[in-house]
Chains A and B, each alone.
Chain A
Amino acid sequence: MIAELGLALLWIAASLACLSLVAGTLFLRGGPKDLAALVRPASVAQGVLTAAAFGLLIALFVRSDMSVDLVARNSNSLKPMIFKIAGTWGNHEGSMLLWLMILSLSGALIALFEKRLREDTLVATLTAQAALSLGFFAFLLFSSNPFKRLPVAPPDGQGLNPLLQDIGLAFHPPTLYVGYVGLSVAFSFAVGALITREIGPAFARAMRPWVLGSWIFLTLGITAGSYWAYYELGWGGWWFWDPVENVSLVPWLAGAALLHSVAVTATRNALRAWTVMLAVIGFSMSMVGTFIVRSGLLTSVHSFAVDPERGTFLLVLMAIYIGGALTLFALRAGAVAEGKKFALLSREGALVINNLLLTTILALVLLGTLYPIVAEAMGEKISVGPPYYNRVAGPLALILCLVMVAGPLLSWRKDDGKRLWSRLPASAFAGAAVLFALILFGGAVGILPLLGMTVAAVVAVASLAPLWGRTLRRVPLPTWGMVVAHFGVAVCLAGMGAESAFIKERLVAAAPGETIRIADFSVKFVGVKPVAGPNYTAIEGSLIATTASGGRFTMKPEARTFPGLMGTAPTETNEAALLTRPGGQLYAVLGQPVPGDDGRADRYQIRLWWKPLVWWIWLGGGLIALGATLSLLGRAQLPAMWRARRHRKTQERFAP
């Protein structure tokens, strides 16, 4: 019954979206005001019902109801509970329902909490959101029904990919999804504002918290995904410039650009059309990314067939939404005055350059990701990978960081160079010191890591400059947010630079008792023993790492084998052991046994890496998200509302 109820809820929610769309459209075309009153409650109800449907799908996974096709294909009764739950979104249909739930809940949240917008703009926004969700309801109900029953229930399910049986990964996709889909709010705001022609500071201020909110989740999702790839895949890489990574980066870049341009619109009433454009681009890129992954468009050789019908469906949906929004933009934006002008050397000027560089990086990531298709159309098969992105995006990112040094120190509208320069000596000195130290003592460091670490030092010091000479308690939260986020960029950049410049690698076939030296560590390979997990067996290696200063640490990397369930092939994964030290991480992987001359497997492949400052990369990502959160707390109306309430209470108390 649960599956049928879930499906029914989805149909009702879809009809509510339809109702919002029709009522909102009629109202905007001059219909009676009563119609507008329908839209808010309908949006809220749609959000609640979709969330309930998602809850029911989770219940099916928890109960291991194998009569449901999706559960049978993606779960197994022996699996630990947490991974049963995570299995809900670990597949196409479930993750599309998650997508839809976030889309609907976003609409419900706007309907409940957004009080700053003009009524007609709010209705237009909710109508746009309803239109977005209606398309995805159609996609789910007609081509990806998660509640489909099987005619005959199998005795047990086919399990979940063992690589996914990892706690970090279980919650990484939903985080990323909240970010992706959260950008739909900015998209709907932009469409709503274009429809009612209300584009100005009020619109920008209303949109800003939503953008910040989704960008926080995107940042966390990408950071967590990078860390997952780092420890789970067994080779210690943290970013591969892989198409699927790239399509997750593109909405993040759009969000970052939008955050900064919306600041200009909110504060100075400038860059209005551009802010609207970016709001459209953000969610468009989320959809393009989802389409690319779902349609199997860019999976490479030896990939698996993904339903082309679904791809076509998504493509049509995207064409309607993105094409519609861009057409509306082209028709309406001409009437939107660009707003106040400003000098190149001003806060706005720096933010414009920031936006120019961010969108150029966005464009080149998209270009590099899709170019193999273009080249193939011209008859050449090519691969675009790290060398391209590092060479092209790397320098642009470094220039962007330098602009970030200057931006926060400039005043709005107009500033002069001498004043800027007078605030920079400390950061310039830090940069010069790091550069000289690296050249003198660093050995052969590549140009990009060298400049990266130098710029990181400059940014780190300069990012704190807005706090100089101020009473820290009085510094507003959004300023704290900016400082923390920019400092996070510096930390992240320093980690990337140090890791690529000073990484040490040792690949050894070691016999038990052997000692391997790497960086300042002596690592003794003690031996291996078999261990059994809840649903896998493993060979566990035991390594003892000792440092020069006498520290002694045990590391236990595992090579796991998951049995094939219900006729699928067994799967092997590597569980790396990580030793985190203040200066970096020691990364150990246990590889295959190596037969000796007598044919007995007495030695094992051991892979060891010393990765200096590598954890700064994710610390930086966390700081960026924290900064955005501080900014969000400062921007949201909560403190203001709280203050107002306290103020009112005080007044009441002293009222005569």
Chain B
Amino acid sequence: MKNRWVLFVPLAIMGLLFGAFIYRLVTPAETLIQSQWIDKPMPLFDLPPATAGVPGLKSSDLADGRPRLVNVFASWCIPCRAEAPQLEALKAAGVPIDGIAIRDRPEDVARFLSEYGNPFDRIGADMQSSVQIALGSSGVPETFLVDGKGIIREQIQGVILADQVPEIVAKIEAMK
């Protein structure tokens, strides 16, 4: 046999395979799909009010010079309930918050707001997730930091935790 090195090729391939396995065991997969629609303008939309008494939301509302949060939520989303106090805290710190309610009914949204508080200036009803898809969002809750020109600057996936609040306030301040 001339090419004895050939016999070690399977071992080398196994090494590569195991390298991939070890890499994955050491650095577990990122399970959230991040939006690629960052540093891009808000997609165009015009959503009707999600419930009586709170105005709807359209993209031109988001370019009024004031940086703000756009919170993607739903009344049927259980983690969203846990997020409510943090949104209240952000509101109290002077951060404007708009909401997009995903696949929700007006009476459910009203009940959610009465139970967990209403930090939202406006809430658009996204009945078919079309704005959510246009934002590159894949779950609830998600929060987008939007600057005064209506450009999306950052996406926060999942519940905003209490210790993230000051950081977010600072970021919004910096955008002013």
Contacts and interface: CB of A to CB of B under 8 A. Distances in A.
B10 A323 contact: no
A315 B17 CA distance: 11
B14 A323 contact: yes
Interface string B11-44: 1001001101111110011111100000000000
A338 B14 CA distance: 23
A377 B23 contact: yes
Interface in B36-83: none
Given A295-B25, A311-B25, A315-B22, A381 B33 contact: yes
Interface stretch (A74-82, A300-308, A423-431, A644-652): A300-308
The size class of the interface chain B forms with chain A is 20 to 34
A327 B25 contact: no
Contacts of A300: 29
Given A301-B31, A330-B7, A334-B1, A322 B22 contact: no
A288 interface: yes
Nearest to B4: A334
A326 B4 CA distance: 14
Nearest to B7: A330
A303 B17 CA distance: 22
A373 B10 contact: no
A277 B11 contact: no
A433 interface: no
Contact of B21 (A280, A297, A326): A297
Looking at chain B's contact residues, is the secondary structure mostly helix, strand, loop, or mixed?
helix
A524 to B, nearest CB: 31
A27 B37 CA distance: 67
Interface in A446-472: none
A308 B29 contact: no
A370 B8 contact: no
Contacts, number: 62
B18 A319 contact: yes
Nearest to B20: A373
A373 B18 contact: no
Given A315-B21, A322-B14, A329 B7 contact: yes
B131 to A, nearest CB: 21
B139 to A, nearest CB: 8
A281 B31 CA distance: 31
A291 interface: yes
Contacts of B1: 334, 338
B25 A381 contact: no
A330 B18 contact: no
A280 B23 CA distance: 24
Nearest to A374: B20
Contacts of B31: 301-303
Nearest to A280: B10
Contacts of A318: 18
Contact of A327 (B11, B18, B22, B33): B11
Given A302-B31, A334-B4, A297 B11 contact: no
Contact of A330 (B11, B24, B32): B11
A327 B14 CA distance: 11
A376 interface: yes
B55 to A, nearest CB: 26
A338 B17 CA distance: 27
Contacts of A277: 10
B17 A370 contact: yes
A281 B14 CA distance: 10
A374 B24 CA distance: 9
**Residue from B4, B8, B10, B17 whose CB has the most chain A CB atoms within 10 Å:** B10
B21 A291 contact: yes
A326 B18 CA distance: 14
Contacts of B33: 301, 381
Interface in B102-154: 138
A302 B30 CA distance: 10
Contacts of A273: 7
Contacts of B17: 288, 366, 370
Contacts of B29: 300, 373, 376
B7 A301 contact: no
16 contacts: A284-B14, A291-B21, A295-B25, A297-B21, A297-B25, A303-B31, A308-B25, A315-B25, A319-B18, A323-B14, A326-B11, A330-B11, A376-B30, A377-B20, A381-B30, A381-B33
Given A297-B21, A297-B24, A370-B17, 10 more contacts: A280-B10, A284-B14, A301-B138, A312-B25, A315-B18, A329-B10, A334-B4, A370-B20, A373-B20, A373-B24
Interface of A: 273, 277, 280-281, 284, 288, 291, 295, 297, 300-303, 308, 311-312, 315, 318-319, 322-323, 326-327, 329-330, 333-334, 338, 366, 370, 373-374, 376-377, 381
